[in-house]
Amino acid sequence: MTGKFHNTVTKSDNAALTACKAGGFHDILMKAVKATSAASMVGILTMISVLTSCTSREILFDGSSEYVTYSCPAPFEGKTLDIFYNIPEGLSGKAPVQIVMHGDGRNGESYFKAWKGFSDERKFVLIVPQFTKEQFSVMEYHQGNVMAADSTFNAKEDRIYEVLDEIFRYFIDHSRIRADKFNIYGHSAGGQFVHRFMMLGNTEHVGKAIAANPGWYTFPADSAAWPYGTGVPTDSKMDQSSGREIAADQETQDGGDDAGSSPGILSENEKKAFYAKDMTILIGKADTLRYNNNLHISPEADAQGLNRYERAHSFYNWCKRDAASMGTEFNWNILEVPEVGHSNTKMAPAAVELLYPTL
């Protein structure tokens, strides 16, 4: 498999390119001419600067390779990841874009191969970033680098979710695709990534999200400490009761507003926004094995259910009741895939049909 290496652009580099995309070569040139007619040399010099930036921008995602190696911005500078991609023949402009997040095996290439045929058939751009174990820990990938080593919450800009947003903009900046939205799917650890990203990340560019077969979940409840809930991990909350507090709350639905809980990482408005997003919990009906498929087992995780199937329904039902108790919009779905266990390859067709249904 062939690839390319290229350093990332800085955030400040994007302004000129955005202007180029919005207006195009001809529009920019016309603006320069009008500026000249108005005797504004400053105006024409600005337009020339923008034009130079646009025409010199390298198209990296051109189909000549199957991945581009990306250098991460701060706070992950020094780390790189491969972005596997597929642009179906003849596709350009405002084409649909699909980001796929791999599981704990960090096998982005395998996920890419499993989804590439669907990309060609349904005509959507496929992007699969690969976060290797050597460069991205479980705390960083699965749990988003939300928590610092001293058990305090990192600032939003220090979470891994900012890298995902950067990858999308980087792809748009260095390809002939002009989409302003993407759909996202993740399986297993990738499903963990997706639901936490939808909760805590910058999702302004997200259309639809699917979290498939996550091993366990972060409940939007301050009554349980991170990462099982959104509460502050004080000493009193770091014991094994933290996950059970949510389970005990299943019937009463006190949620994250327990009288004794400390304010957590998620505000009430952020929680409402989370519930309003277009997200599907996709679960294999046969994903019920407990001592296989790398299922996370702990008192906190077991409070959510004894296998992935139980935990999916526990999470969805709890959040649905919580949204109802808040009187807020709830736009999620939960769907079961019959006779499928813990397999991205077998879950992918159901996800594709949800995201890009046949006519």
**Residue 292 confidence class, pLDDT cut points 50, 70, 90:** confident
Is there a contact between 113 and 72 (Cβ–Cβ < 8 Å)?
no
Is there a contact between 250 and 239 (Cβ–Cβ < 8 Å)?
no
Average pLDDT over residues 292-298: 89
Average pLDDT over residues 14-19: 42
Structure confidence by residue, pLDDT tens digits, 77-130: 999 999 999 999 999 899 999 999 999 999 999 999 999 999 999 999 999 999
- The proportion of the chain whose per-residue pLDDT surpasses 70, expressed as a percent, equals 76
Q: What distance, in Å, lies between the first and last C-alpha atoms of the chain?
A: 33
Residue 136 has pLDDT above 50, yes or no: yes
Residue bearing tokens 């010199």: 56
Residue 42 has pLDDT above 70, yes or no: no
- How many other C-beta atoms lie within 10 A of the C-beta of residue 107? 16
Residue 14 has pLDDT above 50, yes or no: no
pTM of this structure? 0.82
Closest CA to 232 of 171, 317, 297, 146: 146
Average per-residue pLDDT for the chain: 84
Average pLDDT over residues 50-64: 68
Is there a contact between 91 and 103 (Cβ–Cβ < 8 Å)?
no
Structure confidence by residue, pLDDT tens digits, 209-235: 999 999 999 999 999 999 999 998 865
DSSP 30-93: HHHHHHHHTT-HHHHHHHHHHHHHHHH-----SSSSSEEEEE--TTSTT-EEEEEEE--TT--B
Q: Which CATH architecture has domain 68-355?
A: 3-Layer(aba) Sandwich (3.40)
Structure confidence by residue, pLDDT tens digits, 68-77: 999 999 999 9
In the prediction, which pLDDT does 296 show?
Answer: 95
What residue ranges do the domains of the chain occupy?
A: 3-56, 68-355
DSSP letter at 245 equals: H
Longest dimension (CA), the chain: 75
In the prediction, which pLDDT does 63 show?
Answer: 85
In the prediction, which pLDDT does 30 show?
Answer: 47
Tokens for 50, please give them. Answer: 């923008």
Average pLDDT over residues 261-271: 84
Contacts of 184 (CB under 8 A, 6+ apart): 98, 99, 100, 101, 194, 197, 206, 208, 209, 210
